[in-house]
Amino acid sequence: MKKVLVWFRRDLRDFDHAALYKALKSSTEVYCAFIFDTEILDELENKQDRRVEFIWESIRELKTALQNKGGDLIVKHGIARELIPALALQLNIHEVFANRDYEPSAVARDAEVAKKLAQNNIEFHTFKDQVIFEKDEVVSLTAKPYSVFTPYKNAHLKKLDNFYLMPYPVDRYIHNLAKVAPSELISLESTGFARTNLAEMRLPTGMSGGKQLFEDFENRINRYKDARDFPAVKGVSYCSVHLRFGTVSIRHLARTAWNIAGSGAETWLNELIWRDFYVQILHHNPQLAVGKAFKADFENLLFPNDGKLFKAWCDGKTGYPLVDAAMRQINQTGFMHNRLRMVAASFLVKDLLIDWRWGERYFAKNLIDFDLSANNGGWQWAASTGCDAQPWFRIFNPITQSEKFDVTGKFIRKYVTELRQCSDKEIHAPWLIPQDRQQSIGVVIGKDYPAPIVNHAAQRVLALDLYKKCSAHKVENAFEA
């Protein structure tokens, strides 16, 4: 009788799960394990990290679910590449199953685990689960990977059919879980981390949380195309952290969007395809994980990198209300609306003239839904250094963006509370409010709220000059978004 171990990583669910299904189908004794990997956790400076608490809560739900189905989830804290081979030996496992992770460090870890397992004649199998298409499944007619999104999307949609979106019927074989005595879950504190404001934020965790959020979004998906750019509107799915940790199934989400007619569902499906696109970009360009620019011409942009300006950006004290609201949102919640990610990134790179890698690292530390491929792709898009990037001569105007996407200032008022007394018109550029009016509403610029730390128009000229020096192409008519 073959014994199999399923190693859960960024796939914290017990349904529509490729590795779990394959294991259950091939064996009548399937063990399940998750490792709080210290090689990852030790790199996290903040020991009140919302991601770790989210994972712990999701693990708690997954463990209970597996226990209710006759099995259990073995949860350990330590070095995964050592603990998995050791656990496999301890349980007399014949094969280890896992879903593929495409980040270079994870690929290296899995290669080492496979080697250690092989030394003891234990096979290691990995499966596609976190994306719809992976690696070389969507390539050009010349068998080369795409580096521009639109042709990639078109090829992706052309290949997409029910076969690729079919769920894995885990419950059909769930009786093959190994019958073991239920064990206690290690505490969050024993991993070296403490509680955050996750409960206060009312962010639902685990499989049930992902289900709740997506069912709510299904009722709004038809409005997605029109509502997604406005941070004060409930327009996006809020499922990003659940996608990141696999408490939802990408196949279920994509299948739902694919089967719903209308521009809203189509636009949201495009966002899921963007996710696949960035994963395959990272797969084919692992150097991106160590800070390399996708476009070699822009590898050595001479950013001034003023530390004081960077701190003001991090703290949400730039004097530009929409940028500050965005940064305060990420600092207080670990989330940032997608439109604001573009605005904040553009402002850091092309107004403050700070290396995009500084911003990429800040988001990596603070985003609860941080994903290496998407975060790198987004930052390089904004910095015009990446694949399919925003042209370097297009620079977001933070005031225009504010007036367009937070018209009444509702989002700004939520996070930049100092400006609550400003009128809907004043709130986008409060430094233009007359002095007597500033006094009367209690918003004295430079005292109650910072004056702009840079002049957008002047910085735009400097940014264009900086990029021109690195660019092989001359553009005569620069313009603003």
Query: Cα(355)–Cα(116) distance, rounded to whole angstroms?
Result: 40
* Res. 472: pLDDT tops 90: no
Q: What is the pLDDT of residue 390?
A: 82
Residues 6+ apart with CB under 8 A from 138: 146, 152, 155, 156, 159, 276, 280
CATH code given to domain 131-166+208-284: 1.25.40.80
Q: What is the pLDDT of residue 261?
A: 85
Residue 321: pLDDT band by 50, 70, 90 thresholds? very high
Q: What is the pLDDT of residue 470?
A: 83
Please give the average per-residue pLDDT across 163-175, as a whole number: 98
Please give the average per-residue pLDDT across 449-477, as a whole number: 83
Q: What is the pLDDT of residue 40?
A: 97
Please give the average per-residue pLDDT across 317-337, as a whole number: 98
* Res. 114: pLDDT tops 80: yes
Tokens 């941070």 sit on residue: 231
Q: What is the pLDDT of residue 475?
A: 42
Between 166 and 481, the higher pLDDT residue: 166
User: 6: which strand partners?
Assistant: 32, 97
Query: To the nearest whole percent, how much of the chain has pLDDT over 90?
Result: 94
CATH code given to domain 3-130: 3.40.50.620
* Res. 477: pLDDT tops 90: no
Please, what is the average pLDDT of the chain?
96
pLDDT tens, residue by residue, 270-280: 999 999 999 99
Between 181 and 24, the higher pLDDT residue: 24
Domain ranges of the chain: 3-130, 131-166+208-284, 296-480
Q: What is the pLDDT of residue 474?
A: 39
- For the four alpha carbons of 96, 99, 105 and 108, in that order, the dihedral sign comes to positive
Which top CATH class is 296-480?
mainly alpha
Please give the average per-residue pLDDT across 415-427, as a whole number: 98
Residue 478: pLDDT band by 50, 70, 90 thresholds? very low
Please give the average per-residue pLDDT across 366-392, as a whole number: 94
Residue 43: pLDDT band by 50, 70, 90 thresholds? very high
Please give the average per-residue pLDDT across 303-331, as a whole number: 98
* Res. 16: pLDDT tops 50: yes
Please give the average per-residue pLDDT across 342-352, as a whole number: 98
Please give the average per-residue pLDDT across 130-150, as a whole number: 96
* Res. 87: pLDDT tops 60: yes
Query: Cα(210)–Cα(60) distance, rounded to whole angstroms?
Result: 14
Q: What is the pLDDT of residue 388?
A: 83
Please give the average per-residue pLDDT across 15-29, as a whole number: 97
Query: To the nearest whole percent, how much of the chain has pLDDT over 70?
Result: 98
Please give the average per-residue pLDDT across 406-433, as a whole number: 98
Query: Cα(419)–Cα(430) distance, rounded to whole angstroms?
Result: 8
Q: What is the pLDDT of residue 205?
A: 98
Query: Cα(199)–Cα(196) distance, rounded to whole angstroms?
Result: 8
* Res. 90: pLDDT tops 70: yes
Residue 479: pLDDT band by 50, 70, 90 thresholds? very low
Contact 33, 266 (CB under 8 A): no
Residue 481: pLDDT band by 50, 70, 90 thresholds? low
Please give the average per-residue pLDDT across 204-208, as a whole number: 98
